[in-house]
Amino acid sequence: MARLAPYLEQHKTYAGPGDARPTAIQVVEDQGLVSSSEWVGRVVLVTGCSPGGLGPETAKAIHLTGADVYITSRDAAKGKQIAEEIRTDGKPGKVEFIVMDLASLKSIRAGAEEFLRKSGNKLNILINNAGIMACPQGKTEDGFELQFGTNHLGHFYLFHLLKDALLASATPSFNSRVISVSSAAHRNKEINLDDPNFEKREYIPLKAYGESKLANIYFANELDRKYKSQNLRALSLHPGGILTPLARYLPTTQDILDDKDLYKTLKDPAQGAATTVWGAVAKELEGKGGLYLDEVSVAEPAPADVPYYWGGYDENAFNPEAEKKLWDLSLKLTGLSES
Ligand SMILES: NC(=O)c1ccc[n+]([C@@H]2O[C@H](COP(=O)([O-])OP(=O)(O)OC[C@H]3O[C@@H](n4cnc5c(N)ncnc54)[C@H](OP(=O)(O)O)[C@@H]3O)[C@@H](O)[C@H]2O)c1
Protein backbone atom coordinates (compact mmCIF):
# COMPACT_ATOMS: atom_id res chain seq x y z
CA MET A 1 0.00 0.00 0.00
CA ALA A 2 1.34 3.45 -0.92
CA ARG A 3 2.17 5.64 2.07
CA LEU A 4 -0.59 8.12 2.87
CA ALA A 5 1.24 11.44 2.72
CA PRO A 6 -0.85 14.06 0.92
CA TYR A 7 1.46 16.94 1.82
CA LEU A 8 4.81 15.27 1.17
CA GLU A 9 5.91 18.03 -1.19
CA GLN A 10 5.28 20.75 1.43
CA HIS A 11 7.44 18.86 3.95
CA LYS A 12 10.51 18.51 1.74
CA THR A 13 12.04 21.76 3.02
CA TYR A 14 11.31 23.73 6.16
CA ALA A 15 11.40 27.51 6.58
CA GLY A 16 9.97 27.81 10.09
CA PRO A 17 6.56 28.83 11.48
CA GLY A 18 4.11 29.93 8.80
CA ASP A 19 5.99 28.24 5.93
CA ALA A 20 4.37 26.15 3.19
CA ARG A 21 3.35 23.29 5.48
CA PRO A 22 -0.45 23.11 5.78
CA THR A 23 -2.56 24.52 8.58
CA ALA A 24 -5.42 22.61 10.19
CA ILE A 25 -7.89 24.82 8.31
CA GLN A 26 -6.19 24.03 5.01
CA VAL A 27 -6.64 20.33 5.77
CA VAL A 28 -10.42 20.63 6.27
CA GLU A 29 -10.65 22.80 3.15
CA ASP A 30 -8.65 20.28 1.11
CA GLN A 31 -10.93 17.49 2.37
CA GLY A 32 -13.84 19.47 0.89
CA LEU A 33 -15.50 19.69 4.30
CA VAL A 34 -15.97 23.45 4.61
CA SER A 35 -18.23 23.64 1.59
CA SER A 36 -20.18 20.43 2.25
CA SER A 37 -22.74 19.60 4.93
CA GLU A 38 -21.38 16.07 5.44
CA TRP A 39 -20.20 16.78 8.99
CA VAL A 40 -23.27 18.70 10.18
CA GLY A 41 -24.66 16.80 13.18
CA ARG A 42 -21.39 14.97 13.88
CA VAL A 43 -19.92 15.41 17.36
CA VAL A 44 -16.27 16.01 18.22
CA LEU A 45 -14.71 16.47 21.66
CA VAL A 46 -11.26 18.08 22.03
CA THR A 47 -9.44 18.14 25.39
CA GLY A 48 -7.00 20.83 26.48
CA CYS A 49 -8.25 23.98 24.78
CA SER A 50 -6.37 26.93 26.26
CA PRO A 51 -5.16 30.03 24.42
CA GLY A 52 -1.90 29.66 22.52
CA GLY A 53 -2.01 25.88 22.21
CA LEU A 54 -2.93 23.31 19.58
CA GLY A 55 -6.36 22.51 21.08
CA PRO A 56 -8.06 25.76 19.96
CA GLU A 57 -6.59 25.48 16.44
CA THR A 58 -7.85 21.90 16.26
CA ALA A 59 -11.35 22.83 17.46
CA LYS A 60 -11.58 25.90 15.19
CA ALA A 61 -10.72 23.91 12.08
CA ILE A 62 -13.13 21.10 12.91
CA HIS A 63 -15.97 23.53 13.64
CA LEU A 64 -15.61 24.85 10.09
CA THR A 65 -16.95 21.48 8.90
CA GLY A 66 -20.32 22.23 10.55
CA ALA A 67 -19.80 19.62 13.29
CA ASP A 68 -20.77 20.19 16.93
CA VAL A 69 -17.56 20.82 18.84
CA TYR A 70 -17.15 20.29 22.58
CA ILE A 71 -13.99 21.66 24.11
CA THR A 72 -12.57 21.06 27.55
CA SER A 73 -10.18 23.01 29.72
CA ARG A 74 -9.39 22.79 33.42
CA ASP A 75 -9.70 26.59 33.55
CA ALA A 76 -13.23 27.89 32.93
CA ALA A 77 -12.14 31.39 31.89
CA LYS A 78 -9.69 30.06 29.29
CA GLY A 79 -12.17 27.53 27.88
CA LYS A 80 -15.01 30.07 27.64
CA GLN A 81 -12.72 32.50 25.82
CA ILE A 82 -11.85 29.85 23.21
CA ALA A 83 -15.51 28.81 22.82
CA GLU A 84 -16.45 32.47 22.13
CA GLU A 85 -13.68 32.75 19.53
CA ILE A 86 -14.82 29.58 17.72
CA ARG A 87 -18.46 30.76 17.64
CA THR A 88 -17.50 33.81 15.56
CA ASP A 89 -17.06 31.65 12.44
CA GLY A 90 -20.81 31.65 11.82
CA LYS A 91 -20.95 27.89 11.24
CA PRO A 92 -24.07 25.96 12.35
CA GLY A 93 -22.44 23.47 14.71
CA LYS A 94 -22.72 23.92 18.46
CA VAL A 95 -19.71 25.00 20.50
CA GLU A 96 -19.88 23.88 24.11
CA PHE A 97 -17.29 24.29 26.82
CA ILE A 98 -16.91 21.76 29.61
CA VAL A 99 -14.59 22.17 32.56
CA MET A 100 -12.39 19.10 33.06
CA ASP A 101 -9.22 18.62 35.04
CA LEU A 102 -7.49 15.53 33.65
CA ALA A 103 -5.48 15.27 36.86
CA SER A 104 -8.65 14.39 38.79
CA LEU A 105 -10.77 11.29 38.12
CA LYS A 106 -13.66 13.02 39.88
CA SER A 107 -13.46 16.03 37.56
CA ILE A 108 -13.21 13.74 34.49
CA ARG A 109 -16.33 11.88 35.65
CA ALA A 110 -18.26 15.12 36.13
CA GLY A 111 -17.08 16.46 32.74
CA ALA A 112 -17.93 13.23 30.93
CA GLU A 113 -21.42 13.18 32.47
CA GLU A 114 -22.00 16.78 31.41
CA PHE A 115 -20.78 16.00 27.91
CA LEU A 116 -23.04 12.95 27.52
CA ARG A 117 -26.04 14.92 28.78
CA LYS A 118 -25.40 17.84 26.41
CA SER A 119 -24.56 15.73 23.35
CA GLY A 120 -27.37 13.23 23.85
CA ASN A 121 -24.82 10.38 24.21
CA LYS A 122 -23.40 11.02 20.76
CA LEU A 123 -19.67 11.15 20.01
CA ASN A 124 -17.97 10.52 16.68
CA ILE A 125 -14.44 11.74 17.35
CA LEU A 126 -12.57 12.04 20.66
CA ILE A 127 -9.36 14.06 20.45
CA ASN A 128 -7.11 13.51 23.46
CA ASN A 129 -4.97 16.62 23.08
CA ALA A 130 -4.37 17.98 26.59
CA GLY A 131 -0.89 17.54 27.96
CA ILE A 132 1.69 18.72 30.41
CA MET A 133 5.45 18.52 29.82
CA ALA A 134 8.48 18.22 32.07
CA CYS A 135 6.84 19.65 35.17
CA PRO A 136 8.46 19.39 38.59
CA GLN A 137 7.63 16.11 40.33
CA GLY A 138 4.04 16.10 41.49
CA LYS A 139 0.95 13.97 41.87
CA THR A 140 -2.56 14.07 40.52
CA GLU A 141 -5.49 14.23 42.91
CA ASP A 142 -5.58 10.41 42.83
CA GLY A 143 -1.87 10.01 43.56
CA PHE A 144 -0.49 9.30 40.06
CA GLU A 145 2.70 10.94 38.77
CA LEU A 146 1.50 14.17 37.19
CA GLN A 147 2.53 13.55 33.55
CA PHE A 148 1.60 9.85 33.40
CA GLY A 149 -1.58 10.64 35.34
CA THR A 150 -2.68 13.59 33.19
CA ASN A 151 -1.40 12.68 29.74
CA HIS A 152 -2.18 8.97 29.82
CA LEU A 153 -4.40 7.86 32.71
CA GLY A 154 -6.71 10.89 32.53
CA HIS A 155 -7.40 10.29 28.85
CA PHE A 156 -7.62 6.51 29.36
CA TYR A 157 -10.30 7.07 32.00
CA LEU A 158 -12.13 9.64 29.87
CA PHE A 159 -12.22 7.21 26.95
CA HIS A 160 -13.84 4.52 29.09
CA LEU A 161 -16.55 6.90 30.24
CA LEU A 162 -17.27 7.87 26.62
CA LYS A 163 -16.73 4.45 25.04
CA ASP A 164 -20.40 3.51 24.80
CA ALA A 165 -21.20 6.80 23.06
CA LEU A 166 -18.33 6.28 20.59
CA LEU A 167 -19.50 2.74 19.86
CA ALA A 168 -23.16 3.72 19.54
CA SER A 169 -22.23 6.54 17.11
CA ALA A 170 -20.04 4.31 14.91
CA THR A 171 -21.23 2.87 11.61
CA PRO A 172 -19.45 0.67 9.05
CA SER A 173 -19.23 3.60 6.63
CA PHE A 174 -18.27 6.25 9.23
CA ASN A 175 -16.20 4.75 12.02
CA SER A 176 -15.75 6.58 15.32
CA ARG A 177 -12.16 7.68 15.97
CA VAL A 178 -10.01 8.34 19.01
CA ILE A 179 -7.01 10.56 18.32
CA SER A 180 -4.16 10.36 20.80
CA VAL A 181 -1.82 13.36 20.59
CA SER A 182 1.59 11.89 21.41
CA SER A 183 5.05 13.26 20.63
CA ALA A 184 8.39 12.45 19.07
CA ALA A 185 9.48 12.46 22.73
CA HIS A 186 8.27 8.83 22.85
CA ARG A 187 11.47 7.80 21.10
CA ASN A 188 14.17 5.93 23.02
CA LYS A 189 11.77 5.39 25.90
CA GLU A 190 10.31 2.36 27.61
CA ILE A 191 7.50 2.53 30.10
CA ASN A 192 8.55 1.09 33.40
CA LEU A 193 5.39 -0.87 34.14
CA ASP A 194 6.69 -1.77 37.59
CA ASP A 195 7.03 1.91 38.47
CA PRO A 196 4.92 4.08 36.13
CA ASN A 197 4.52 6.70 38.85
CA PHE A 198 8.26 7.15 39.54
CA GLU A 199 8.00 6.02 43.16
CA LYS A 200 11.05 3.72 43.11
CA ARG A 201 13.38 5.58 40.74
CA GLU A 202 14.75 9.06 40.22
CA TYR A 203 12.21 11.44 38.66
CA ILE A 204 13.60 12.92 35.44
CA PRO A 205 11.01 15.37 34.06
CA LEU A 206 11.62 14.80 30.33
CA LYS A 207 11.88 11.04 30.80
CA ALA A 208 8.51 11.01 32.55
CA TYR A 209 7.08 13.10 29.68
CA GLY A 210 8.51 10.70 27.09
CA GLU A 211 7.07 7.68 28.89
CA SER A 212 3.65 9.32 29.09
CA LYS A 213 3.80 10.06 25.35
CA LEU A 214 4.77 6.45 24.57
CA ALA A 215 1.76 5.49 26.69
CA ASN A 216 -0.39 7.67 24.39
CA ILE A 217 0.74 5.52 21.42
CA TYR A 218 0.29 2.21 23.25
CA PHE A 219 -3.20 3.31 24.32
CA ALA A 220 -4.21 4.04 20.71
CA ASN A 221 -2.71 0.80 19.39
CA GLU A 222 -4.42 -1.39 21.99
CA LEU A 223 -7.71 0.50 21.69
CA ASP A 224 -7.68 -0.02 17.94
CA ARG A 225 -6.94 -3.71 18.35
CA LYS A 226 -9.79 -4.17 20.84
CA TYR A 227 -12.52 -2.15 19.13
CA LYS A 228 -11.85 -2.12 15.38
CA SER A 229 -14.34 -4.95 14.85
CA GLN A 230 -16.98 -2.58 16.31
CA ASN A 231 -16.07 0.29 13.93
CA LEU A 232 -14.12 2.26 16.54
CA ARG A 233 -10.56 3.10 15.44
CA ALA A 234 -7.65 4.91 17.07
CA LEU A 235 -4.63 6.79 15.80
CA SER A 236 -1.69 8.44 17.55
CA LEU A 237 0.50 11.26 16.30
CA HIS A 238 3.30 13.76 16.71
CA PRO A 239 2.08 17.28 15.90
CA GLY A 240 5.56 18.71 15.19
CA GLY A 241 7.54 21.24 17.23
CA ILE A 242 5.52 24.32 18.14
CA LEU A 243 6.37 26.94 20.75
CA THR A 244 3.28 26.92 22.95
CA PRO A 245 2.65 27.23 26.71
CA LEU A 246 3.61 23.52 26.88
CA ALA A 247 7.23 24.69 27.17
CA ARG A 248 6.54 26.62 30.38
CA TYR A 249 8.63 24.27 32.57
CA LEU A 250 11.69 24.23 30.31
CA PRO A 251 14.48 26.39 31.77
CA THR A 252 14.70 28.31 28.47
CA THR A 253 13.53 28.12 24.87
CA GLN A 254 16.23 30.53 23.69
CA ASP A 255 18.44 27.61 22.64
CA ILE A 256 15.65 26.45 20.29
CA LEU A 257 15.36 29.94 18.76
CA ASP A 258 19.14 30.20 18.39
CA ASP A 259 19.53 26.84 16.61
CA LYS A 260 18.81 27.74 12.96
CA ASP A 261 18.29 24.13 11.80
CA LEU A 262 15.94 23.39 14.66
CA TYR A 263 14.08 26.70 14.32
CA LYS A 264 13.29 25.98 10.67
CA THR A 265 11.49 22.77 11.67
CA LEU A 266 9.15 24.64 14.03
CA LYS A 267 5.53 25.25 13.05
CA ASP A 268 3.00 27.79 14.25
CA PRO A 269 0.00 26.45 16.24
CA ALA A 270 -2.30 26.52 13.17
CA GLN A 271 0.17 24.22 11.37
CA GLY A 272 0.76 22.27 14.58
CA ALA A 273 -2.91 21.22 14.65
CA ALA A 274 -2.86 19.98 11.03
CA THR A 275 -1.82 16.37 11.72
CA THR A 276 -4.41 16.03 14.49
CA VAL A 277 -7.16 17.38 12.25
CA TRP A 278 -6.07 15.18 9.35
CA GLY A 279 -6.19 12.19 11.69
CA ALA A 280 -9.68 13.19 12.79
CA VAL A 281 -11.31 13.97 9.44
CA ALA A 282 -9.32 12.47 6.55
CA LYS A 283 -11.45 10.33 4.27
CA GLU A 284 -8.37 8.35 3.25
CA LEU A 285 -8.01 7.19 6.88
CA GLU A 286 -11.56 5.79 7.04
CA GLY A 287 -11.41 2.19 8.22
CA LYS A 288 -7.78 2.53 9.30
CA GLY A 289 -6.29 2.57 12.76
CA GLY A 290 -3.36 1.59 14.93
CA LEU A 291 -1.19 3.99 12.93
CA TYR A 292 1.20 6.71 14.10
CA LEU A 293 1.03 9.94 12.13
CA ASP A 294 3.29 12.93 11.72
CA GLU A 295 3.78 15.67 9.11
CA VAL A 296 0.12 15.18 8.07
CA SER A 297 0.93 11.66 6.89
CA VAL A 298 1.27 8.11 8.10
CA ALA A 299 4.72 8.22 9.67
CA GLU A 300 7.70 6.05 8.85
CA PRO A 301 10.20 4.57 11.30
CA ALA A 302 12.70 7.21 12.50
CA PRO A 303 16.20 6.62 11.15
CA ALA A 304 18.76 5.80 13.82
CA ASP A 305 20.51 8.71 15.55
CA VAL A 306 18.32 11.51 14.16
CA PRO A 307 17.87 14.61 16.33
CA TYR A 308 15.13 14.37 18.94
CA TYR A 309 12.91 16.82 17.09
CA TRP A 310 12.72 14.80 13.86
CA GLY A 311 9.58 12.90 12.98
CA GLY A 312 9.19 9.16 12.66
CA TYR A 313 8.48 6.52 15.23
CA ASP A 314 10.63 4.36 17.41
CA GLU A 315 10.69 0.62 16.77
CA ASN A 316 9.35 0.21 20.32
CA ALA A 317 6.25 2.28 19.47
CA PHE A 318 4.49 -0.88 18.27
CA ASN A 319 4.75 -3.46 21.03
CA PRO A 320 1.54 -5.50 21.47
CA GLU A 321 2.73 -7.19 24.65
CA ALA A 322 3.60 -3.91 26.40
CA GLU A 323 0.43 -2.27 25.02
CA LYS A 324 -1.75 -4.94 26.62
CA LYS A 325 0.16 -4.77 29.90
CA LEU A 326 -0.23 -0.99 30.03
CA TRP A 327 -3.95 -1.28 29.26
CA ASP A 328 -4.50 -3.81 32.05
CA LEU A 329 -2.41 -1.78 34.50
CA SER A 330 -4.33 1.38 33.59
CA LEU A 331 -7.66 -0.38 34.24
CA LYS A 332 -6.38 -1.43 37.65
CA LEU A 333 -4.99 2.00 38.56
CA THR A 334 -8.18 3.82 37.60
CA GLY A 335 -10.44 1.23 39.21
CA LEU A 336 -12.15 0.28 35.95
CA SER A 337 -13.14 -3.13 34.70
CA GLU A 338 -14.02 -4.22 31.19
CA SER A 339 -16.71 -6.67 30.30
N1 LIG B 1 3.93 21.99 21.24
C2 LIG B 1 4.72 21.00 20.81
O3 LIG B 1 5.82 21.23 20.26
C4 LIG B 1 4.30 19.57 20.97
C5 LIG B 1 5.15 18.56 20.47
C6 LIG B 1 4.78 17.24 20.63
C7 LIG B 1 3.60 16.93 21.25
N8 LIG B 1 2.80 17.91 21.73
C9 LIG B 1 1.54 17.51 22.41
O10 LIG B 1 0.49 18.29 21.90
C11 LIG B 1 -0.54 18.42 22.88
C12 LIG B 1 -0.96 19.88 22.98
O13 LIG B 1 0.16 20.61 23.44
P14 LIG B 1 0.30 22.19 23.24
O15 LIG B 1 1.61 22.41 22.59
O16 LIG B 1 -0.91 22.76 22.66
O17 LIG B 1 0.47 22.64 24.76
P18 LIG B 1 -0.39 23.69 25.62
O19 LIG B 1 -0.57 24.94 24.88
O20 LIG B 1 0.27 23.73 26.95
O21 LIG B 1 -1.78 22.97 25.71
C22 LIG B 1 -1.96 21.84 26.51
C23 LIG B 1 -3.34 21.84 27.04
O24 LIG B 1 -3.44 20.80 28.01
C25 LIG B 1 -4.04 21.35 29.16
N26 LIG B 1 -3.75 20.64 30.40
C27 LIG B 1 -2.57 20.48 31.05
N28 LIG B 1 -2.80 19.84 32.21
C29 LIG B 1 -4.14 19.61 32.29
C30 LIG B 1 -4.99 19.02 33.23
N31 LIG B 1 -4.54 18.54 34.40
N32 LIG B 1 -6.31 18.98 32.99
C33 LIG B 1 -6.81 19.48 31.85
N34 LIG B 1 -6.07 20.08 30.91
C35 LIG B 1 -4.74 20.13 31.14
C36 LIG B 1 -3.52 22.77 29.22
O37 LIG B 1 -4.31 23.53 30.13
P38 LIG B 1 -3.69 24.78 30.94
O39 LIG B 1 -3.68 25.93 29.98
O40 LIG B 1 -4.66 24.97 32.04
O41 LIG B 1 -2.33 24.38 31.40
C42 LIG B 1 -3.71 23.15 27.77
O43 LIG B 1 -5.05 23.44 27.51
C44 LIG B 1 0.04 17.84 24.16
O45 LIG B 1 -0.48 16.55 24.37
C46 LIG B 1 1.53 17.78 23.89
O47 LIG B 1 2.16 16.75 24.62
C48 LIG B 1 3.10 19.22 21.60
The chain-wide mean pLDDT, for the chain, equals 96
d(CA 319, ligand 1 centre) in Å: 25
- Atom 24 of ligand 1, residue of closest alpha carbon: 130
Question: Is the C-beta atom of 265 inside 6 A of ligand 1?
Answer: no
Q: At 22, is the pLDDT very low, low, confident or very high (cuts 50, 70, 90)?
A: very high
The predicted-structure confidence for 84-130, as pLDDT tens digits, reads as follows: 999 999 999 999 999 999 999 999 999 999 999 999 999 999 999 99
pLDDT score for 189? 84
pLDDT score for 208? 97
d(CA 87, ligand 1 centre) in Å: 22
Q: At 1, is the pLDDT very low, low, confident or very high (cuts 50, 70, 90)?
A: low
Q: Give me the helix-helix angle, 155-169 and 105-119, nearest 10°.
A: 20
pTM greater than 0.95: yes
Q: What's the sign of the alpha-carbon dihedral 219, 220, 221, 222?
A: positive
Q: At 310, is the pLDDT very low, low, confident or very high (cuts 50, 70, 90)?
A: confident
Ligand 1 pocket test: which of 109, 246, 266 has the largest number of ligand atoms within 8 Å of its C-beta? 246
Average pLDDT of span 165-180: 98
d(CA 229, ligand 1 centre) in Å: 31
Ligand 1 pocket test: which of 74, 214, 216 has the largest number of ligand atoms within 8 Å of its C-beta? 74
Dist CA 333 CA 216 (whole Å): 16
Active site residue 14: no
Active site residue 236: no
Gyration radius of the chain's alpha carbons: 18
Q: What's the sign of the alpha-carbon dihedral 189, 190, 196, 199?
A: negative
Task: Kindly give the number of the ligand 1 atom that is closest to the alpha carbon of 49.
Answer: 43
pLDDT at 339 over 80: no
Task: Kindly give the number of the ligand 1 atom that is closest to the alpha carbon of 266.
Answer: 3
Domains of the chain: which residue ranges? 23-202+214-334
Task: Kindly give the number of the ligand 1 atom that is closest to the alpha carbon of 102.
Answer: 32
The predicted-structure confidence for 281-298, as pLDDT tens digits, reads as follows: 999 999 999 999 999 999
pLDDT score for 304? 85
The more confident residue out of 262 and 2 is 262
Question: Is the C-beta atom of 186 inside 6 A of ligand 1?
Answer: no
HEC letters along 126-165: EEECCCCCCCCCCECCCCCEHHHHHHHHHHHHHHHHHHHH
User: For residue 142, with 0-12 CB atoms within 10 Å meaning exposed, 13-18 middle and 19 or more buried, which class applies?
Assistant: middle
Share of the chain above pLDDT 90, in %: 93
- What is the separation, in whole angstroms, between the first and last Cα of the chain? 35
Report the candidate in 113, 120, 101, 104 with the shortest Cα–Cα distance to residue 43.
120
> Are the CB atoms for 11 and 267 separated by under 8 Å?
no
The predicted-structure confidence for 250-285, as pLDDT tens digits, reads as follows: 988 888 889 998 999 999 999 999 999 999 999 999
Active site residue 173: no
Task: Kindly give the number of the ligand 1 atom that is closest to the alpha carbon of 74.
Answer: 33
Catalytic, out of 207, 213, 267, 288: 213
The predicted-structure confidence for 173-212, as pLDDT tens digits, reads as follows: 999 999 999 999 999 889 999 999 999 999 999 999 999 9
- Atom 39 of ligand 1, residue of closest alpha carbon: 50
Question: Is the C-beta atom of 102 inside 6 A of ligand 1?
Answer: yes
CATH number for the segment(s) 23-202+214-334: 3.40.50.720
Residue 160: count of CB within 10 angstroms of its CB: 17
pLDDT score for 56? 98
- Atom 47 of ligand 1, residue of closest alpha carbon: 131
pLDDT at 79 over 80: yes
Task: Kindly give the number of the ligand 1 atom that is closest to the alpha carbon of 146.
Answer: 31
Question: Is the C-beta atom of 183 inside 6 A of ligand 1?
Answer: yes
